Amino acid sequence: MVLKFAVRDGRLSRNPADGIQLPRSTSSKHGYLTHPQLHQLAALAAPESTVVLFLGYTGLRWGEMAALRVGDIDLVRRRVNVERAVVELATGKLVYGSPKNHQRRSVPFPAFLAEPLEKAMAGKRVGDLLFTAPSRQPLRANNWKRRAFDRALGEMLEAHPELIRLTVHDLRHTAASLSISAGANVKAVQRMLGHASAAMTLDVYSDLFDDDLDAVGAALSAAGDPAVVGKMWAKPENAARQEHLDEPRDQ
């Protein structure tokens, strides 16, 4: 991709990587938490519990969550307006810009998050950051991870050794899993997560739709069961239709 842009910029006459077949990438297994597990992780991460629950139920990316301002929260409609994101450079500088894919979106949050979000907003102005570090400075991913997430996850794994070792980004995957299990369709999940297309959502979370395939199989079994079909054709109107179909036809 870099070489392609170099050609476009006139710095190279041709792209020497053209035609090279790259190995097929394989997606790593996502970590999903259930509702009780997510709440347990949040409790263990106190006093950062709200951040854990917020990420686990809205599916926002870390940079989108860390860039939220008080004015981005609509407590009446229970919506989060995602309009920007923050990136931390290697130098430590924080750069604010548009979200990934440059798409603004409105994301719902569950009613039980309204109270803790209202507490996070208390005493702040509309343009102030919603979530901050204990020093009231902007949240930084690595600092927050060491301060709250890693500690809580360590205790969580002691209680649930069967869980895979989660990352902060797995809270986003958890939000997708909980939404799909609650009956959300692919298009709704796509809009919630800010994916470029529904096809991308299906590619990333294809494993979460296995239950839908089971439901299709069950529905087909019920509709095509010989006993059911036999009863349907045993109805008088269908019997008459069958006799008509069985009548000899003129050649």
Provide long-range contacts, Cβ within 8 A and 24+ apart, for 68-72. Answer: 68/129, 68/130, 68/131, 69/126, 69/127, 69/128, 69/129, 69/130, 70/121, 70/124, 70/125, 70/126, 70/127, 70/128, 70/129, 70/130, 71/126, 71/127, 72/130
**Is residue 172 packed enough to be buried (19+ CB in 10 Å), middle (13-18) or exposed (0-12)?**
buried
193 domain-assigned:
yes
pLDDT of the residue at 224:
67
Summarize pLDDT for 225-242 with one digit per residue, the tens.
665 556 555 555 555 555
Summarize pLDDT for 37-77 with one digit per residue, the tens.
999 999 999 999 999 999 999 999 999 999 999 999 999 99
9 domain-assigned:
no
Report how far residue 238's alpha carbon sits from residue 235's, in angstroms, rounded to the nearest whole number. 5
Report how far residue 215's alpha carbon sits from residue 210's, in angstroms, rounded to the nearest whole number. 9
Query: Is a pLDDT exceeding 60 seen at residue 120?
Result: yes
User: Among 39, 91, 85, which residue's Cα sits nearest to residue 62?
Assistant: 85
Strand partners, 94: 88
Which tops the pLDDT comparison, 22 or 82? 82
Summarize pLDDT for 14-23 with one digit per residue, the tens.
999 988 887 7
pLDDT of the residue at 233:
52
Q: What is the dihedral of CA 227, 229, 232, 234, to 10 degrees?
A: -70
H/E stretch holding 85: strand 85-88
Report how far residue 188's alpha carbon sits from residue 186's, in angstroms, rounded to the nearest whole number. 5
- What is the span of the domain harbouring residue 191? 35-205
Summarize pLDDT for 173-202 with one digit per residue, the tens.
999 999 988 888 888 989 999 988 888 888
245 domain-assigned:
no
80 domain-assigned:
yes
pLDDT of the residue at 160:
85
198 domain-assigned:
yes
Report how far residue 128's alpha carbon sits from residue 5's, in angstroms, rounded to the nearest whole number. 38
pLDDT of the residue at 86:
95
Domain count, the chain: 1
81 domain-assigned:
yes
pLDDT of the residue at 31:
82
User: 53: domain CATH number?
Assistant: 1.10.443.10
pLDDT of the residue at 155:
94
CB atoms within 10 A of CB 121: 17
Instruction: Using the structure block, give the residue that is written with the tokens 């894919």.
Output: 101
pLDDT of the residue at 181:
85
pLDDT of the residue at 203:
81
Summarize pLDDT for 127-176 with one digit per residue, the tens.
999 999 999 999 999 999 999 999 999 999 998 888 888 999 999 999 99
143 domain-assigned:
yes
Q: Taking each helix axis as running N to C, give the angle between helix 35-44 and helix 170-181, from 0 to 180 degrees, rounded to the nearest 10.
A: 150
Summarize pLDDT for 83-103 with one digit per residue, the tens.
999 999 999 999 999 887 667
Which tops the pLDDT comparison, 77 or 208? 77
222 domain-assigned:
no
User: Among 124, 159, 148, 146, which residue's Cα sits nearest to residue 52?
Assistant: 148
